[in-house]
Structure 1
């Protein structure tokens, strides 16, 4: 963090001009009107031309012109010395040595926007300096107190281990202006902006050049120990007693300390993703434009891109901690999408990963909480430009399988697989929302293809499954599924002679291959004779003919509505 300083001293040249002690001298501004808002660091009485070189800049100069030269060349040199000293303003009392401001000095002050003020009546310089010093010291005292308050607030937030987004909210509240935290890649991690809409506050980050902040904005780096993690910016707003930049620097320091304490180094990434998915899935946005701005600012471009939602989960035993499995899946997908594509990932916040009876648990499989993904690709990207031929894996899945091969630990059991669910691709925020909602509602379906350790399901190839899963939460569909499958489910849950508990599994295998009962028997891992017996029992329980097309369609819909 850079050296902390006060950058909002409220005493300006205009403030000094309003003092009664200066007004008593009938002041007249003869040059440098554009510099009336210059800050005054101190007030200093200057006698003679040689004392000008001792100034440090920012002073309010008070002089009678005593000891000044009167010829043109010498006055021109004096004027150059004055502007080189960069004072806040120069006040010349007329009468004793000059009856008007030297033209050379007035011209130089006008060019450099340094106010030059003449006094036509005699005043006491000591009273003016005293009043100016009182105002400057009071402002500095106020700034120190305000800075101490901000420091105390941020220290308490650190002791409370407050999340990053809450720290940013408090900074925005303190500055009464939008505050944006971005990572080293320019992606928005967190922001808070009061009444300002996201499309206005985040517009610089949603654009192709996030460095182009509006005039009046302040920005500081978030860094520590020689490592830069990002940038903290405040958009235009009112001044703060401690100085807007000082508040930002203290905030950046607190955020950097939190970053050092983050052992995984992924807190910012997960926070940004979580906020975006919360907005998208729970409708926490006012318009599609607002959501598109937030997504683009977080690193997921929308305009002119092909967008889709996806899920990714591990199946079977990974042979290691779930956090390692998730890290491998996330890293592999990011690498599979890079460099042209973009992805935002988050664990599904509402998935309990609990298998239901008769589904994956009965097959001895294990699913963890799936990852939800938002994907953005260039329009001509071959990984999503077309659906692969039947039976072959899409290019994205092939790329993902290759990345997994390089990342998974060698002891990983051979049965472990990564299951990739791909929603329908489209353009615009609305199609992205629909794609994610449908692939999420579909859950884990039977794969349509495989590549290495990756199994794939695709909305384009499983339109009925995606449609039914999207409607499965409605009471009417659940009632239909219960009525259609109730006798089979009840039989599976029973015990005793004739109760094998596998009728639902047999039915699922048959409906997957209704025209090839031999293949269906193989999928169910039963002999043909036993498989046929099970089918006959299902027909008896349900009172249906499994060769009937309408029955096959109805039972398929019922199974899809019931399965995870």
Structure 2
């Protein structure tokens, strides 16, 4: 016998029987099972007498005239009960030759077991019905094989083209016409696609009392809600969902899930299994095993920094689904970069910095990291309320101390002594908007002089350097640029015309002075000049700019101008 089609595949059903001309010729009447016409028909079988009933496997379309059935009511009840318990797709009973009406016992048994019972009021040739049903079943199964081959070819081409994982998920979603989500073994969303015409998409703010939380869910919220809620992960899979593991060689990397959608000729589970196999092969080829993590992080930072979300709740859903809890947490943006010669390949430096940061925020905290083109790590951090690692009141932040400890455990002995990790910490907050602002400010600020240092970690903090962060954020505006250029123009022109060294490095001298305006001896040390030479250059700066460096307003003006120009104070 032919195998039973996948339950989620497009298959020939009991309801399809009524469209057959051979069935219509028998004047069919549906007696019971109107709610079960979607039952797939595996095969058609003519049953005569009572001896054939034990031979049924289930899923067959049973055609009978009732010939050879017992007349004793008790025996007939046992037979019809056995027939229903064999779980046929449906029972077609032709009346008129052996039975005038359908036996009540048969009607009751079919109704109890949810099996459609169809009565034919005119005589037909069963061989014509079985022949047509078998043709349709074989055509459907051939379509399923062709559909499976098409999916296999598509995934093979994607593999040969080395297509990224997120594109593979998009193609699977298009194939199934439904949202598809790839999660890792920790239930963090790696990639997802909403599918064409996905349910749950909506216009931000439509019909909502609170514009920050529209009544109509966006695609991201509708699809990713179960992954954003840790309690929902252990619940039973909702009806219509299909989930398959992504695994190979005894290692399970995650799961592939399809939300409800239209049937697929090859079966929705079959399509997902083929996709999971392709993803497993790709994961085996990823020797470092970091592709999924990098993909998830890059996607989230593109969404956040590119403004690719409709409202804060949508972004919060995506962050939570990717492993960064938001609700009731303290959120902060940060950057981490290596300063100086690392003494080894930059990929090792990047890996150590990322690992050290993840360990520094664990176990209570969570982090999502991604590298900038220049190698700087961007970080989104989430901590429980009142976590001491975010206490800006400490001379040295506890997060930096933890980071320095983790670096000591990870750095090779060959790392040059001068190498440092520079950590920039934004202003913590409890809202998504604050997290975005926190990250953007530390990103724009770039490198500033450290306010603290511990081990191999130097630290700058937005809360302790508000003016520097503010001016770096405003430095791109035309008005601020004009202000900085006007205030510093003679000094910058002097440095350009004289070159570095001697009196041609006045900007660096001014930076050192403005960092310690009340202690010129310390400023001279920071400028690496003798006090006499340092004082001479300060006098030259006052002459060129026509200012008094002892004046408070002058100090403030030049400090702001240097910060806006891109220098540090």
TM-score, normalized by the shorter chain, greater than 0.5: yes
Which position in structure 2 is the counterpart of 1:430?
433
Question: What are the equivalent positions in structure 2 for 1:457-472 lying under 5 Å apart?
Answer: 457-472=460-475
Cross-structure match for 1:375: 381
How far is the alpha carbon of 1:491 from its aligned partner?
A: 3.0
Equivalent residue for 1:220? 244
Contact 2:85-2:113 at 8 Å conserved across structures: no
* Offset, 1:69: 2.7
* Structure 2 partner of 1:452: 455
In structure 1, the residue matched to 2:58 is: 57
Contact 1:401 1:451 in 2 (8 A): yes
Q: How is 1:284-433 mapped onto 2 (pairs within 5 angstroms)?
A: 284-349=308-373, 353=374, 369-384=375-390, 386-389=391-394, 392-433=395-436
The total of aligned residue pairs comes to: 541
Confirm or deny that 1:156 pairs with 2:180. no
Gaps of at least 5 residues in structure 2 are 202-218
SS at 1:151 equivalent: helix
Kept in 1: contact 2:499–2:505 (CA 8 A): no
**1:362 alignment counterpart:** none
Q: SS of the counterpart of 1:154?
A: helix
CA distance in 1 between counterparts of 2:500 and 2:328 reads: 63
Q: Report the equivalent of 2:293.
A: 269
Distance apart, 1:96 and its partner CA: 3.6
Equivalent residue for 1:204, pick from 200, 207, 226: 226
Aligned CA distance change for structure 1 residues 4 and 17 (closer, same or farther; 3 Å): closer
How far apart in 2 are the matches of 1:14 and 1:338? 57
Residue 307 of structure 2 corresponds to residue 283 of structure 1: yes
In 1: Cα distance, 2:327 partner to 2:5 partner: 41
* Deviation per residue, 1:64-105 (Å, 9 max, x gap): 222333334433432342233221111122234333333333
Structure 1 window deviating more from structure 2 (534-543 vs 308-317): it is 534-543
Per-residue Cα deviation, 1:438-493 (whole angstroms, up to 9, x for no partner): 11111111111112111111111000011000001122222222232233333334
Q: Distance in 2 between matches of 1:339 and 1:44?
A: 62
Gaps of 5+ in 1: 354-368
SS in 2 for 1:57: coil
The answer as to whether partners of 1:32 and 1:111 remain within 8 angstroms in 2 is: no
C-alpha separation in 1, matches of 2:329 and 2:314: 17
Separation in structure 2 between the aligned mates of residue 129 and residue 4 of structure 1, nearest angstrom = 18
SS at match of 2:388: coil
Match of 1:479 in 2: 482
Shifted more, 473-482 versus 145-154: the winner is: 473-482
Alignment check: 8 A CA contact 2:389 2:398 kept: yes
Which stretch shows the higher mean deviation, 168-177 or 486-495?
Answer: 486-495
Q: CA deviation at 1:121?
A: 2.2
Q: Is the 8 A contact 2:8 2:263 kept in 1?
A: no
| Preserved contact between residue 42 and residue 60 of structure 2 (Cα < 8 Å) | yes
The separation in 2 between residues aligned to 1:400 and 1:497, in whole angstroms, is: 36
TM-score normalized with structure 1 length: 0.91
Structure 1 residues 47 and 493 mapped into 2: Cα distance closer, same or farther (>3 Å)?
same
- Secondary structure at the counterpart of residue 408 of structure 2: helix
1:558 maps to 561
Asked if structure 2 preserves the Cα contact closer than 8 Å seen for 1:492 and 1:499, the reply is: no
CA contact (8 A) 1:12 1:38 kept: yes
Contact 1:307-1:426 at 8 Å conserved across structures:
yes
Cα distance, 1:265 vs structure 2: 0.8
Q: 1:134 to 1:185 in 2, by over 3 A?
A: same
The equivalent residue for 1:490 is 493
For 1:18-58, what per-residue CA distance to the aligned partner results, in whole angstroms no more than 9, with x for missing partners?
Answer: 32212222322233332211000111111222222222221
Bigger drift between 5-14 and 259-268 goes to 5-14
Deviation larger for 44-53 or 395-404: 44-53
Distance 2:449 2:494 in 1: 24
Distance 1:495 1:471 in 2: 30
C-alpha distance in 1 between matches for 2:88 and 2:483: 84
1:432, distance to aligned residue in structure 2 (A): 0.9
Secondary structure at the residue paired with 1:202? helix
